[in-house]
Structure 1
Amino acid sequence: MSSDQTNETTAPDYRGTVFLPKTDFPMRAGLPMREPDWLARWEKIGVYDRLREKAAKETRPSFVLHDGPPYANGHLHIGHALNKILKDFITRSQQMMGRDARYVPGWDCHGLPIEWKIEEQYRAKGLDKDEVDVVAFRRECRAFAESWVDIQREEFKRLGVYGNWADPYLTMNYHAEAVIADEFMKFLMNGTLYQGSKPVMWSPVEKTALAEAEVEYHDHTSHTIWVRFKPKVGLEGASVVIWTTTPWTIPQNRAVAFNPGIAYGLYRVDTLGEKSTATEGEMLLLADALAQSVMDQAKVESFSRVRDVESTEFEGVILSHPYAGVEGAQGEWDYDVPLLPGDHVTDEAGTGFVHTAPSHGDDDYQMGLKFGLPMTYNVEPDGSYRKDLPLFGGEAIIEADGKDGPASVSNIKQLAWAGALLAKGKIKHSYPHSWRSKAPLIYRNTPQWFAAIDHTLNDGMGEYGDTIRKRALTSIEELVTFTPEKGKNRLHSMIENRPDWVLSRQRAWGVPLTCFVKKGAKPTDEGFLLRNAEANARIKAAFETEGADVWYQDGFKAKVLDGLVNPDDYEQVFDVLDVWFDSGSTHAFVLRDRADGTEDGIADVYLEGTDQHRGWFHSSLLQACTTKGRAPYRNVVTHGFTLDEKGMKMSKSLGNTIVPEEVIKQYGADILRLWVAQTDFTEDQRIGPEILKGVADSYRRLRNTLRFMLGNLDGFTEAERVDPTEMPELERWVLHRLAQLDVEVRKGYDAFDFQGVFQQLFNFCTVDLSAFYFDIRKDALYCDAEDSDRRRAARTVLDLLFHRLTTWLAPILVFTMEDVWLSRFPGDDASVHLQDIPETPASWADDALAAKWDGIRRARRVVTAALEVQRTAKVIGASLEAAPVVHVEDADVLGALKSVPFEDLCITSDIALTADPAPQEAFRLPEVAGIAVVFEKAEGEKCERCWKILPDVGSHAHPGTCKRCDAALD
């Protein structure tokens, strides 16, 4: 029998004497099954409410993230999940850093998205919404919104988001409706409200004006035409040619614009190509830069430039409308069409002349204001021409199903018949569509209610400016911090260039414009709008008790105006407010009015997607600058959109959507939260099956780190604790890293840099801890005597690590950190989410020690790499079989390595350190200069308890042990 066989037979089994990790914390997370139990537990013990009680007792500084309200009209998509999880990161991290971080979730309940759903239900039943009592219709909208609030609330809670779910804010709550109306009436009273007639984005399908934020752009193929306008006065014998992609607007033409800075010429058509609609010898006025392209479109084979045409020749020129004198036109278009200068005209496309219809475009409208051009009212709410319009009466521009109507083609035919059509074609271009119906939009002139954002305000709130625009721009520049920074310029340019705010919508579900106009008066007349504080107070009081539906009840006008003015002299306005006014007013009924709001009615953070620069950030800014005098927020944080793994926009038709519910079923909500933490949310993010697999792998690695800590902290008591000053250098290096990380984590959370926070913590856990500190200290934790100084120091550090890592990571991995915490500190009322991030002494930081250990770790890398070569070659099976010789050129580095148990750091049984020159065959790493390793096998026998190979094994009282293990067994 060999000596090895004898040893195996006679040596005692020391496994029971080793302090192996002990924990009930499972290797497999089982998140999809276990997370609902934690949610129920948090609700039972009232975590969110207990934090509020704790904050009140400790008088913590307030921190409020104001929730931008999602629409209550469907299941959550991945963008919702991203948004709410980011908000939860902020609220939880601020709470755990010592603040009273309150979060009131909210919902947008009015407006087109919900009304459209009810109309869809009506259409499916063959019902006409316009024939239903408006109050009954509004009740159906309210019930629909209520049902979706309940559904979405549970879906948001399932993501691990905490907040005041029992008492959220809803824009359709009676108090909210009363405040929205009251905020609107401040616009009425301070003179910013006016009724005007101007072109706005209009949805023929939905029969309402739309806000810019309700518009999205898709490719659309439009007819394009080149039209001759014949001179009536001046420019004899030549036609002015315009180009447009909206042939249906020709009946509304009132002028043609040119730019005095463009070079124009007079061109003669010489020879024609096949199917040309030009005429040989005709004279055309065109911008020089565009003449060739126009002739190509008109299929002109050859043409001549006759002469320069100076812009002074256009002064006083009067053109005829193309339909002037046309049979059947009944004189409708027998008016003068002036040729007018306009800076908006370019020679980049078209002809250098722009057809101007003031009722159907903003540039056109501005020209109309400047030169007194009359407005036209030819287009009805459903997108058809008025019935009595000659030639085209009743024809649709956009059909009810969102498809192009016959209006454009009819105009093209009529222009050809009238001899005005020079050329035609089609163009595919980006075109505005409704984000709800997905149908194309038109610019349409309608009477609407506006807020004049350049109106001078004398309201005593002029610290940041005396107009809405000035206050908004000053707020952006001086009062608000933007994350990312580029959001500042984006919002600034939008505010700087925006027109007046269109407040009115021709819908039924919303807060009405609570105002009255004098019968028979014009909008410009004094007294057109009733401005009466008592009437306003009565309206607000009625809304508080009965909601906005009361506005539609018979006799309400008389009730409000009784004793103030003669009700018969006034008409009640029944338009509803732009839904962005609702959400823009939330600062008033949430931040200002609620007990869990803020003292000054200003939020610390607004966070939404980048589209909200033109949406909620924008409307909230305009609204608050009118009624508060400044922005309602101190920080604006924006996130990008969610894309699939290939960077494509998600759509059901492409089959590439990722639904939060499905991710949670497969992986659990913590994996979704971890995906959010790993992305740069300020840009567009990608998500898909392969990305989620990678996230799950990161999670498993992190979980293993936490499990190791728990296992090795089993039974830890305060009696074991070692003061940092008495710890070995390795432990003091870990404390240095904790001091560094505490600063960085707090700074990262304050800067909303969740990716940076998680990346630092993940690298710390996997590189500094699992691959270095834990790997080294396993031997001491398992095999040192229970009360050895080194083991006690290591366990003390594990305890300090535990308290920091669990609280640092709790805002991100809410379920997992609760699991980790309760595995160590069980209790009916216990929760990691009731803890704060512990203060980390600055004295733990030791830059000199860190610099020394940076050199030690570099040397260690060379040793471990050299041993890996031997392991791969199967010369050794484990690093403890080695006793390498390490040649060190630098005396300081050599001294540093000799000052620490370097063999323990390299997990070898022995190691030799020398300043002797290294032999040629020694192992080196190119990136670590001055260190070389010569492999040698360890000499001696293997300790049956710690597995080190040492010369003294077998010479102690306990058979088969080394000196350390023999002492530990005693």
Structure 2
Amino acid sequence: MTDATDSQRDYRDTVFLPKTDFPMKAGLAQKEPAILERWAKIGLYQKLREARAGRETFLLHDGPPYANGDIHMGHAMNKILKDIVVRSQTLLGKDAPYVPGWDCHGLPIEWKVEEAYRAKKLNKDEVDPVAFRAECRAYAEKWVGVQRGQFERLGVMGDWATPYLTMNYQSEAIIAGELLKFAESGQLYRGAKPVMWSPVEKTALAEAEVEYEDVVSTQIDVAFQIVESPIAGLEGANAVIWTTTPWTIPVNQALAYGPEVDYVLVHPVLVGGEAAWGIIHAHPLYNGWFDRPVLVAAALVEALKARLKVSLKNIDLSAVGSPEVDLDLEIDPDVSIKGADLSGTIARHPMHKLGGFFARPRPFLPGDFVTTDTGTGLVHMAPDHGEDDFLLCKAHGIDPVFAVDGAGMYRADWLWLGGQGSVINKKFVASDGPICTDLREAGALLAATDDFAHSYPHSWRSKAKIIFRATPQWFIPMDTPTPSPLVGEGRGPLAQASGKDEGDVSLTPPHPSAASPLPPSPTRGEGDNRATLRGIALDAIENTRWVPERSINRIRSMVEGRPDWVISRQRAWGVPIALYVNRATGDYLRDPEVNARILQAFTTGGADAWFQADHQALLGEKYALADYEVITDILDVWFDSGSTHAFVVEARYGQDARADLYLEGSDQHRGWFQSSLLESCGTRGRAPYGAVLTHGFALDGNGRKMSKSLGNVVDPLKIIGESGADILRLWVAQTDYFEDVRIGKEVLAGTGDTYRKLRNTFRYLLGALDGFEESEKVAVAEMPELERYVLAKLAELDGELRAAAEGFEFNRYSRALTDFANEDLSAFFFDIRKDCLYCDAPSDPKRRAYRTVLDTLFHALVRYAAPILSFTAEEVWQARFPSEEGSVHLLDWPVLPEGAATSADWAAIRALRQTVTEAIEPYRREKTIRSSLEAEVTAPNLPLSGDALAELFIVSKVSDGENVTVTPTGRHKCGRCWRHLPEVAEDGLLCDRCAEVVG
């Protein structure tokens, strides 16, 4: 030890403190753009493609967002998660390219261009369609450029130089080609059936374009007088229906009953208030119907009575002193009717006196869908405006009449309310509106109130109500036997399914049995399980990996229950349904030579070519244009995006290539996941993906949906500008993104705290490894137990992270990484070994072993962090290994040293260490002990020697005892390492080790 004369010396200059220029303050918002510029300068994405060439591929196919505005938090969450997946698969050594793309067609973009027209008081319909399409294209191009920059700023690495766009000419040509595959294989028909229709946008909508909102509607009970029935006593009675869509009554064509439902005849009876009888009986509300019995389901008599009573209370009885009047419905005991017995019964429309359409008989038809949950047990049928209605009426020879036009108005020549509407206007359908007024005057309105609360579909774009409306549309059938072999199974891209070389194919709608709105799903796994598109799709679902596993239930139920796919839209901006329909037969032309000329025109001039084509030239000499209708409807935008696998995955990576993963929000089970599945199953007989990952939505900090009206929108661009993209990336990784997730100031504050701890870990490693060289390394077998233990823990972490990456569980991944950094390193390993690092001689084997492990930790942790903290990992790597061309993102998954097994019971050691630390804490608070180095500890069942445990516990002395006890040490403090050791004779003098190091 040193002499007493050295007791006052300052030894700080002899301590080997960590040295690094890596700053504690991140400054990500300022640094990240420069890192992006460097990546672009060195061509990092292309370098990766070259480095991974020939390796196992991993293809994540990007679902295209709409190019119509700045990105929002949902975009940011989705793109960051995709980037983490791609980077982690790249780190695992795979060739994982990422081709971003945009959906450029369809209503969202067209609507924005129309808004500009409306602001200028211009009519889109008066503009040349090609010119209008050019404006839509320019609008999309503008936002592609804006969003591309915003996505790149998130740190998303991909082929930004050549992304895919659905409006590229080659894309449009392939989309048209995919349509023609369906046409040539007979999986296409034109039919008039109800579809979801937006009177505001004047087009059919896909299910994915519809959202449901709570509304309050008018509910009415309407009487249809029975004029003929095989059941005695029914003629002259009123069959009563209940509906919340009064506007469908002018299009009624039949009534439906439940074959197994029990019905009764009831007689309206006034109870009390005889003086009011005359007023009530003469009131327009009861104009005649009060004198007739009413047919209603036995289970719904009381519900009907309650609704009639509400209307009764609305009658002014002040002239007779407002007596107490009640209404009862007396059940006729002599009449008991089973629904099936109503077959052959005929009623008349309430407006039958108008003649024409309204004078036709309204037959009673059996409907399995009729229930006694609500209403009256009888359902009025308007085949123009309901799927059940359409199928049931179709089976009995009743066709739609197309009374409601695209704007939601009754057509001008309609006998009742012609030229009036709109049917979604609340005033028009209200209890005092024209429909109810006319029904009341006809003596057919039993009850009407404007108070029925329920959920109703709206257009997600215009936010206006939609209607179900029968229009001529193009459909892909779900339940028609699919020709075999399928297109793509050993056949040319446009080969004929029927074996014909040319000609027309029937457009007869292949409807399932009208008695069953949704036909039973085929049994999968049996001989006929590939007979229909529905069956093929359900098989493909079972053979796809769904993450999380429970999401298979959502997609399966949607495909099991979905109707035929309506693929046509009555808009201008999109890929046209490039077909010619024979005017005489109604069949569409199917000729490979014509199709080849169409696709060549699309390849050269894009979809615009169809709208300015010489159609006679496309038809060729075999056909006369005068004999054919040129279809100008455009394709559902979901067909466009559902075809992206053809012009992205297959076009770039080979005809047999398919994506390993699709990754989108949970709403895409009814959107892109499903349209892609149906398109690929219909043309290739399989899913376009091997796995599908579904994430939830980003909500505000209180768990509410973000809305401008609520003022709770969290802007990802603002977060990036203030805190940096890595904070947002870490937030995504930390969330349980399989569910809806929250983001707000408090959430981001927690993310920032986690980030700072990780950054400090890297800062410590950089400082502690200052000047480290290969010659300093120590073999694992020669390392102390602690170092081998930490390497063993690193190996455990490695396995956990690899499994999490392969399972796309980055919440698990990030948690394991941060827990290791905080608990195993900062609070344990680094804390214990700081004395060794600071005070041992550079040549000391233990210090060299420690730095060897730190080097291993650095190389592993910086790689592990790179998929999530893409900017920070690059900053860390360049701080230690500066290079003009190098990047952490070019590295592979770390290879860890072997032989790190340890014999000590480290779980017991760490548990005891925690107990000792907690026992010392009260003494620290009381300042009896200022540092744990001043403590002497006793503990039972010591797992290691006292000296070894003293070093691990960072105390002066550990000895065996019956309990854990803490006492201040009587030993003196070394003036350099501050340890209290027996060889130090006086505070400030040096211990033996420090004396040797200082010399």
TM-score (norm 2): 0.90
| Structure-2 change in CA distance of 1:537 and 1:363 (3 Å) | same
Aligned ranges 1:887-902 → 2 under 5 Å: 887-888=940-941, 894=942, 896-898=943-945, 901-902=948-949
| CA displacement, residues 841-896 of structure 1 (integer Å, 9 cap, x when unaligned) | 564355x54xx1001111111111111121112101101111222233xxxxx3x2
| Structure-2 change in CA distance of 1:903 and 1:141 (3 Å) | same
How far apart, CA to CA, are the structure 1 residues paired with 2:603 and 2:454? 48
| CA displacement, residues 895-926 of structure 1 (integer Å, 9 cap, x when unaligned) | x2228710011101222224xxx3xxxxxxxx
Q: Secondary structure at the match of 1:593?
A: helix
Question: How far did 1:330 drift?
Answer: 4.1
Aligned ranges 1:220-369 → 2 under 5 Å: 220-234=215-229, 235-271=234-270, 277-278=285-286, 280=290, 282-299=292-309, 301-307=327-333, 308-325=336-353, 329-369=354-394
Match of 1:116 in 2: 111
How far apart, CA to CA, are the structure 1 residues paired with 2:655 and 2:591? 29
2:185 is matched with which residue: 178, 182, 190?
A: 190
1:905 aligns with 2:966: no
Match of 1:69 in 2: 64
How far apart, CA to CA, are the structure 2 residues paired with 1:224 and 1:102? 56
Question: How far did 1:460 drift?
Answer: 1.9
How far apart, CA to CA, are the structure 2 residues paired with 1:403 and 1:672? 44
Match of 1:420 in 2: 444
Q: Secondary structure at the match of 2:964?
A: strand
- The amino acid of 2:989's aligned partner reads G
Relative to structure 2, which stretch is displaced further, 898-907 or 727-736?
Answer: 898-907
Aligned ranges 1:34-113 → 2 under 5 Å: 34-56=31-53, 59-113=54-108
Question: How far did 1:303 drift?
Answer: 2.4
| CA displacement, residues 402-453 of structure 1 (integer Å, 9 cap, x when unaligned) | 7664698211111101000000112121111001111100011100011122
2:629 is matched with which residue: 544, 567, 571?
A: 571
1:476 aligns with 2:541: yes
Contact 1:739–1:842 (8 Å) recurs in 2:
no
1:519 aligns with 2:583: yes
| CA displacement, residues 740-775 of structure 1 (integer Å, 9 cap, x when unaligned) | 111110110110100000001111111111111111
How far apart, CA to CA, are the structure 2 residues paired with 1:319 and 1:340? 11
1:960 aligns with 2:989: yes
How far apart, CA to CA, are the structure 2 residues paired with 1:817 and 1:845? 29
| CA displacement, residues 220-256 of structure 1 (integer Å, 9 cap, x when unaligned) | 2211100011001021242111000111100111111
Contact 2:928–2:968 (8 Å) recurs in 1:
no
1:148 is matched with which residue: 140, 143, 146?
A: 143
Relative to structure 2, which stretch is displaced further, 754-763 or 298-307?
Answer: 298-307
Q: Secondary structure at the match of 1:558?
A: helix
How far apart, CA to CA, are the structure 1 residues paired with 2:120 and 2:601? 34
Relative contact order (alpha carbons < 8 A, sep ≥ 6): 1 or 2 greater?
2
How far apart, CA to CA, are the structure 2 residues paired with 1:183 and 1:237? 57
Contact 2:258–2:340 (8 Å) recurs in 1:
no
Question: How far did 1:681 drift?
Answer: 0.7
Question: How far did 1:371 drift?
Answer: 1.9
How far apart, CA to CA, are the structure 1 residues paired with 2:103 and 2:221? 46
Equivalent pairs: percent with the same residue? 52
| Structure-2 change in CA distance of 1:472 and 1:841 (3 Å) | farther
1:798 aligns with 2:854: yes
1:210 aligns with 2:205: yes
| CA displacement, residues 650-703 of structure 1 (integer Å, 9 cap, x when unaligned) | 100000010101111221111111110111111001111111111111111111
How far apart, CA to CA, are the structure 2 residues paired with 1:439 and 1:842? 65
How far apart, CA to CA, are the structure 1 residues paired with 2:461 and 2:986? 85
Aligned ranges 1:751-790 → 2 under 5 Å: 751-790=807-846
- The amino acid of 1:444's aligned partner reads R
How far apart, CA to CA, are the structure 1 residues paired with 2:340 and 2:626? 55
How many residues matched? Answer: 923
Match of 2:501 in 1: none
How far apart, CA to CA, are the structure 2 residues paired with 1:787 and 1:599? 61
How far apart, CA to CA, are the structure 1 residues paired with 2:655 and 2:221? 61
Q: Which runs of 5+ in 2 are unaligned?
A: 310-325, 490-528
How far apart, CA to CA, are the structure 1 residues paired with 2:899 and 2:208? 52
TM-score (norm 1): 0.93
Contact 1:898–1:913 (8 Å) recurs in 2:
no
Match of 1:541 in 2: 600
Q: Secondary structure at the match of 2:181?
A: helix
How far apart, CA to CA, are the structure 2 residues paired with 1:490 and 1:632? 18
Question: How far did 1:629 drift?
Answer: 1.3
- The amino acid of 1:43's aligned partner reads A
Question: How far did 1:599 drift?
Answer: 5.8
Relative to structure 2, which stretch is displaced further, 190-199 or 492-501?
Answer: 492-501
| Structure-2 change in CA distance of 1:336 and 1:722 (3 Å) | same
Match of 2:476 in 1: 451
Contact 2:935–2:957 (8 Å) recurs in 1:
yes
Contact 2:169–2:606 (8 Å) recurs in 1:
yes
Contact 2:7–2:975 (8 Å) recurs in 1:
no
Contact 1:17–1:969 (8 Å) recurs in 2:
yes
1:509 is matched with which residue: 570, 573, 576?
A: 573
| Structure-2 change in CA distance of 1:883 and 1:407 (3 Å) | closer
Question: How far did 1:312 drift?
Answer: 4.1
Contact 1:783–1:946 (8 Å) recurs in 2:
yes
Match of 1:880 in 2: 933
- Cα RMSD (Å) of the superposition? 1.9
- The amino acid of 1:812's aligned partner reads I
Contact 1:208–1:505 (8 Å) recurs in 2:
yes
How far apart, CA to CA, are the structure 2 residues paired with 1:710 and 1:761? 18
Question: How far did 1:840 drift?
Answer: 2.7
Contact 2:343–2:364 (8 Å) recurs in 1:
yes
| CA displacement, residues 551-580 of structure 1 (integer Å, 9 cap, x when unaligned) | 011x52111012232222111100000000
Question: How far did 1:466 drift?
Answer: 3.6
- The amino acid of 2:118's aligned partner reads R
Contact 1:395–1:407 (8 Å) recurs in 2:
no
Question: How far did 1:838 drift?
Answer: 1.0
How far apart, CA to CA, are the structure 1 residues paired with 2:427 and 2:834? 74
Match of 1:174 in 2: 169
| Structure-2 change in CA distance of 1:599 and 1:943 (3 Å) | farther
How far apart, CA to CA, are the structure 1 residues paired with 2:328 and 2:616? 74
Contact 1:271–1:280 (8 Å) recurs in 2:
no
Match of 1:929 in 2: none
How far apart, CA to CA, are the structure 1 residues paired with 2:31 and 2:930? 40
How far apart, CA to CA, are the structure 2 residues paired with 1:615 and 1:10? 77
Q: Which runs of 5+ in 1 are unaligned?
A: 523-527, 889-893, 919-931
Match of 1:532 in 2: 591
Match of 1:928 in 2: none
Contact 2:972–2:986 (8 Å) recurs in 1:
no
Contact 1:315–1:340 (8 Å) recurs in 2:
yes
| CA displacement, residues 529-570 of structure 1 (integer Å, 9 cap, x when unaligned) | 1000011111111111111101011x5211101223222211
Q: Secondary structure at the match of 2:993?
A: helix
How far apart, CA to CA, are the structure 1 residues paired with 2:86 and 2:784? 38
Match of 2:971 in 1: 940
How far apart, CA to CA, are the structure 1 residues paired with 2:41 and 2:377? 71
2:532 is matched with which residue: 456, 464, 467?
A: 467
How far apart, CA to CA, are the structure 1 residues paired with 2:290 and 2:166? 66
Contact 1:31–1:670 (8 Å) recurs in 2:
yes
| Structure-2 change in CA distance of 1:33 and 1:624 (3 Å) | same
